[in-house]
Amino acid sequence: MPSFDRLIDIPRGPVRVRVRGEGPPLVWSHGVFFPIDVDDESTLGRVLGEAPGFTVIRWDARGHGRTPPAATADEHRWDRLGEDVLAIADALGIDRFAAGGISMGAAVTLHAAVKAPARIAALLLLAMPTAWETRPPEQDRYRDLLALGSAEALAAHVQDDLDAIFPDGALPAPLRAMVAHLRAADWTALERVIVGASRSDLPDAIELAPLRMPALLRPWPDDSGHPLSTARALAAALPGADLEQLASFDDEPGMLASLTSLRRACADLPILHM
């Protein structure tokens, strides 16, 4: 499969997909407001760009980056995005693959695994979001964002929140890129993304119990939007869970080690030659 970065057609509409590397296929899903071009500014983006031993398939979820929004907000729910993961693999002629994601992308990946467990050889989930009993307050926060009414207002709101966290003005590059992405985005797309997130949760624990593939869970501490409680609850729900904490969102050695573990966990997958 040659490297490429373009829109591809899948049943629910076109999505931007980037394919790089050589090895077993890894379909990676990003977080809310962090499409490919934003993630490229982060440690994770660099790691994925150089991921040794994998053909990495990244995509912009609906309403993010270069992927157009869907017709309705419900099409942006995370369970529906899980269907897109499987459809992208179909479009690329890939039967079984490793799957991973961060934040929203971790939830999307779990929904894909619930829908088609036989197709996913192993999971790598970073910074799992609030879930189940911890989810309603986060859903309310998303709904509050809708009152801002414009991309510029949303970007300014997020900038103010980040300035409170980084009072010295040393805002990390990926967060600067995320604010710029919001400012340039179409409000209709953002609105549907936000509503979709406000109506989303992880799959129920009873749906996760039959998943037998290795599941590498990699949270980091001190992140209220991605609490360690979610990772621990998932570790209890997933039979193949392997839970380890990364030091932070910038833990490049930890991310590389996690990809190495993932590569071992899906050693039976065929290599895609670029």
Q: What pLDDT is recorded for position 269?
A: 83
On whether the 4-134+201-265 domain is CATH 3.40.50.1820, my answer is yes
pLDDT tens per residue across span 151-169? 999 999 999 999 888 877 7
Residue 274 has a pLDDT of 45
Q: Residue 166's pLDDT is what?
A: 85
* Pairing between β-strand 25-29 and β-strand 97-102 as defined by DSSP bridges: parallel
> What distance in Å separates the CA atoms of residue 36 and residue 178, rounded to the nearest whole number?
11
Q: pLDDT value at position 270?
A: 76
In this structure, are residues 89 and 83 in contact, taking their beta carbons and an 8 Å threshold? no
Q: Which helix (H) or strand (E) holds 76?
A: none
Quote the pTM value: 0.96
- Looking at residue 167, what is its pLDDT? 79
d(CA 121, CA 145): 37
How do beta strands 120-126 and 4-8 pair? Answer: unpaired
What pLDDT was estimated at residue 152?
97
Q: How far apart are CA 248 and CA 234, in angstroms?
A: 19
Closest listed residue to residue 131, CA positions, set 29, 230, 241:
230
Within the chain, which residues score under 50 in pLDDT? 274
